[in-house]
Structure 1
């Protein structure tokens, strides 16, 4: 049985920040406030889908966009290599540039707006992980996103002190994030304290928005906080944050 068999497959078409039109598949399940869960590399793996199921079980409508990779493929070297090829040739994702917002953020903001318009309430949640970790922060620029969660954000790719501290946001978008945080929109961030891929981004974010940043540093040098190296504390903090901010 397919892991996505119980999910409703759809599509969303919208403009990216480059002004081009993009269409990506989406998978939807559940009821209650909306949450957009954005997969990591190599894609909608069984671990990502299992996390989506946990969010559904907690009482939320979950939409998982399929941005790259092959749905349900495991975390194998071949799957990672294939997804990296897609990411590297796509102009919708930034990889090394600093001070830039990934163009796909425009598409994700549109997806969040559509979900919020349909479901109502104070807004929707957005969670990104690893390569897409910073996308939730970029989505916060749109007022439809009331609960952004950053799981081990890893772009721009390190090494390099400047890249390791960069939030994958343009100066204009960072200004909006500051304004929304000052108005009461909190940001939850989760990482392993010894993870070399996340750089010093959490230090940067804490300096930019202060107490509006809720930081969770798990002990150890592992990476994927809610999937491959899942910690119950991390999942509990995410679900509690969504419940508090969206109910």
Structure 2
């Protein structure tokens, strides 16, 4: 796999992605697309499509997939600064698209994301679509499994709801429907978190296991494995080991976070088949 290195603090121009405007149910969002092969929808973490999120998207692309990276909040390509807590996080928490707190049910934006998965499957073919959520969008990958095209959900350090560490960002109706889909179609839900993560606790993983049983494959990395020099937002606002495959990844061969990245890519390959027969790239 190739890696596009960036200098810490610099904005990523994202110029190796095709920038598209995608309309689903009369709601239009920017989506960055790259690669060929089966589709994977990668949702950004707070505070947006950072250089580390873009790096992960490139790894997915280079593993033989078409990556769809929707812009959901923040400034695309921006280095995550602590100031984003006021300019991005608070805005998202009160947005009608997101349900950041307990009792809010399923975030409405997941309906749009399921439509994106349908579009991606239509464009790329193959056995289905992968969906990867990160942090604020972590649980969205599970909710997207309500779309039949989604066959490879990956839930990374899901942080919602923010005010209940043992709850899931799902309505009761959607939780029951997701559990039924997972059992009926034999899906496995792959998930990652760091131990001692205060945003994604062991209680939350226990809630996933209660809902999904053995279909939930929750993996926990030691906190000391996290990158000790993350961007300012993760150092000053997040304040703990949190983002396994992005801000807290240590890009060294054999490192636990790199192994986690490779496990995700292998899971996608097993479920989707990189460059499988009958797959294609997105239409221009």
Q: Could you say whether these structures have the same fold, taking a TM-score greater than 0.5 normalized by the shorter chain as the test?
A: yes
CA deviation after TM superposition for structure 1 residue 25, in Å: 0.4
Kindly indicate whether residue 258 of structure 2 is the aligned counterpart of residue 235 of structure 1.
Answer: no
Other-structure match for 1:212: 215
1:2, CA displacement in angstroms? 4.9
Cα distance in structure 2, aligned partners of 1:110 and 1:49 = 22
Q: Give 1:171's aligned residue.
A: 172
- 1:106 maps to 111
Is the Cα contact below 8 Å between 2:29 and 2:70 reproduced in 1? yes
How far did residue 236 of structure 1 move? 1.0
8 Å contact kept, 2:40–2:66: yes
**TM superposition score normalised by structure 2:** 0.81
Residue 245 (structure 1) aligned with residue 271 (structure 2) = yes
Instruction: Please tell me whether residue 3 in structure 1 is matched to residue 13 in structure 2.
Output: yes
Q: Is the 8 A contact 2:145 2:151 kept in 1?
A: yes
Higher relative CO (CA 8 A, sep ≥ 6), structure 1 or 2? 2
State the match for 2:227 in structure 1: none
1:37 aligns with 2:47: no
Structure 1 residue 218: deviation in Å? 0.5
Match of 1:190 in 2: 192
SS at match of 1:62: strand
Q: CA deviation at 1:140?
A: 0.7
**CA-atom RMSD, angstroms?**
1.4
Matches within 5 A, 1:136-155: 136-155=141-160
Give the C-alpha shift of residue 109 in structure 1: 0.2
Once structures 1 and 2 are overlaid, which stretch shifts more, 74-83 or 218-227? 74-83
In structure 2, list runs of 5 or more residues that go unmatched.
Answer: 1-10, 224-239, 250-256, 274-284
Larger radius of gyration: 2
**Corresponding residue for residue 228 of structure 2:** none
CA distance, structure 2, for counterparts of residue 4 and residue 29 of structure 1: 10
Native 8 Å contact 1:69 1:86 kept in 2: no
The CA distance in 2 between the partners of 1:222 and 1:195, in whole Å, is: 6
Q: Distance in 1 between matches of 2:93 and 2:171?
A: 20
1:202 aligns with 2:228: no
Match among 140, 156, 162 for residue 135 of structure 1: 140
SS at match of 2:83: helix
> Which one of 24, 29, 34 corresponds to residue 14 of structure 1?
24
> Conserved in 2, the CA contact under 8 Å of 1:41 and 1:80?
no
SS of aligned partner of 2:146: coil
SS at match of 2:56: helix
**In structure 2, how many angstroms separate the alpha carbons of the residues matched to 1:94 and 1:22?**
18
